């Protein structure tokens, strides 16, 4: 059962690095990378640990990007095995972060150790951009490191993010883009009153109901060959005083857009306001753009990744832009080609999160072959 990637995965899982904590994971990785000639730079930004590590000189830069933080475990009594004590059962290693994404980090490091040993004078450079703020607010992690790198002229050509992208078999899906993400915070202003005297009040919940229906049925776009149509979803509604006989004075909604490259954050904001202006109520509205959509089309990185997967596991991966956001959204605007490639996402953020031990070794080989294809 033991392999270099499995052993490192277990070491990382055993550290309870609940976001934004790192708990020494990055130092463990940095020590391994330094031993094969990498230069490490630790960037502590606010309460977030970040690692920037590089090897080689000149030429294109391939960066492995990822995060050491994990989501909270929830009620420990629901776990079959303690979440920070890696346990192997039937070829699966269980633990928080096993799939998202300590298994990927381990595979990256082991593949890199092998590559720089086999090709000490490889073309280009290899980099690591690792944060402990991906599962949290993501204000002081990858986005902040990218700002510092850009300020000093660092240019990332290719970025491989180790997010769990696979669906049924390791490597069967590569994410070559992501939809944009934007939150909306809407407050409807009514008039508080007694439920027995509705003519003296103005119920904001009743006022906003038709607007919610209009927003949720609006066709924002039709998507394109790479992205599904933009979606609108209400995620939270809050109103009322807690009393049963009081009409509330305000209603607060939180909603989310996941948008394709057919729309922009600005156009969606404008259309939302225009739609709301058609209803008879006063409102306050603010937006928070969490990430812009990005797409990596056919090019050197896509070709290298597809070839690596095909050579390693014998089937060609599908390119997809489905799913949520990742830190790739902070790297793509620099002009880098960005892909996400990692283990199965079936158990991520769940109780009894796990990853196949065999898949860890396959993923290591895939990462190794990508480096060979690009830099050997």
Residue 258 pLDDT grade (very low, low, confident, very high; cuts 50, 70, 90) = very high
Average of pLDDT values for 162-166?
A: 97
Whether the per-residue pLDDT at 323 is higher than 90: the answer is: no
Average pLDDT, integer, range 294-321: 96
Average pLDDT, the chain: 96
Instruction: Write down how long the chain is.
Output: 376
Which residues carry out catalysis? 69, 134
d(CA 23, CA 14): 10
Cβ contact 210:153 at 8 Å: no
- Note the pLDDT of residue 2: 80
pLDDT above 90 covers a percentage of the chain that reads: 95
Q: What is the mean pLDDT of residues 13-39?
A: 98
Residue 164, pLDDT > 90, answer yes
187 has a pLDDT exceeding 90: yes
Cβ proximity of 326 and 174 under 8 Å: no
Percentage of the chain beyond pLDDT 70 is 100
- Give residue 310's pLDDT band: very low, low, confident or very high (50, 70, 90): very high
Q: Is the pLDDT of residue 49 over 80?
A: yes
The pLDDT assigned to 137 comes to 86
| Residue 1 pLDDT level (bands cut at 50, 70, 90) | low
d(CA 52, CA 323): 27
| Pairing mode, strands 250-259 and 231-239 | antiparallel
38, pLDDT greater than 70 = yes
Query: What residues contact 108, with CB distance under 8 A and at least 6 apart?
Result: 64, 66, 128, 160, 162, 367
| Model pLDDT for residues 69-104, shown as the tens digit of each residue | 999 999 999 999 999 999 999 999 999 999 999 999
Which residues, in sequence order, are CB contacts of 136 under 8 Å at separation 6+?
19, 20, 69
């Amino acid at each position: 059962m033991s392999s270099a990637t499995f052993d490192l995965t277990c070491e990382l899982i055993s550290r309870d690095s609940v976001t934004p904590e790192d708990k020494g994971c990055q130092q463990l990785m940095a020590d391994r990378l330094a031993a094969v000639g990498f230069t490490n730079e630790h960037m502590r930004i606010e309460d977030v640990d970040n690692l920037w590590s590089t090897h080689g000189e000149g030429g294109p830069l391939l960066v492995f990007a990822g995060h050491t933080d994990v989501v909270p475990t929830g009620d420990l009594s629901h776990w079959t095995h303690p979440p920070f004590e890696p346990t192997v059962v039937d070829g699966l290693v269980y633990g928080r972060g096993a799939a998202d994404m300590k298994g990927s980090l381990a595979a990256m490091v082991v593949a890199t150790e092998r590559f720089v040993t086999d090709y000490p004078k490889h073309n280009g450079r290899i980099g690591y951009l690792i944060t402990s703020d991906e599962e949290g607010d993501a204000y002081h992690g990858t986005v902040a490191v990218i700002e510092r790198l850009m300020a000093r002229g660092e240019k990332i050509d290719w970025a491989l993010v180790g997010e769990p992208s696979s669906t049924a078999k390791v490597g069967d899906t590569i994410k070559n883009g992501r939809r944009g993400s934007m939150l909306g915070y809407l407050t409807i202003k009514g008039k508080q009153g007694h439920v027995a005297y509705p003519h003296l009040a103005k119920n904001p919940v009743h006022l906003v109901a038709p607007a919610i229906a209009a927003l949720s049925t609006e066709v924002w776009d039709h998507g394109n060959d790479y992205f599904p149509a933009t979606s609108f979803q209400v995620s939270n509604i809050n109103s009322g005083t807690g009393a049963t006989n009081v009409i509330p004075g305000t209603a607060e909604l939180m909603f989310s857009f996941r948008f394709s490259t057919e729309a922009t954050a600005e156009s969606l904001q404008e259309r939302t306001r225009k739609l709301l202006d058609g209803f008879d109520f006063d409102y306050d509205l603010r937006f928070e753009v969490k990430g812009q959509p990005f797409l990596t089309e056919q090019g050197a990185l896509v070709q290298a990744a597809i070839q690596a997967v095909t050579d390693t596991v014998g089937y060609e991966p599908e390119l997809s832009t489905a799913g949520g956001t990742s830190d790739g959204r902070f790297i793509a605007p620099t002009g880098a080609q960005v892909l996400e490639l990692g283990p199965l996402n079936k158990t991520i953020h769940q109780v009894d999160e796990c990853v196949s031990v065999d898949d860890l070794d396959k993923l290591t080989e895939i990462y190794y072959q990508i480096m060979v294809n690009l830099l050997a």
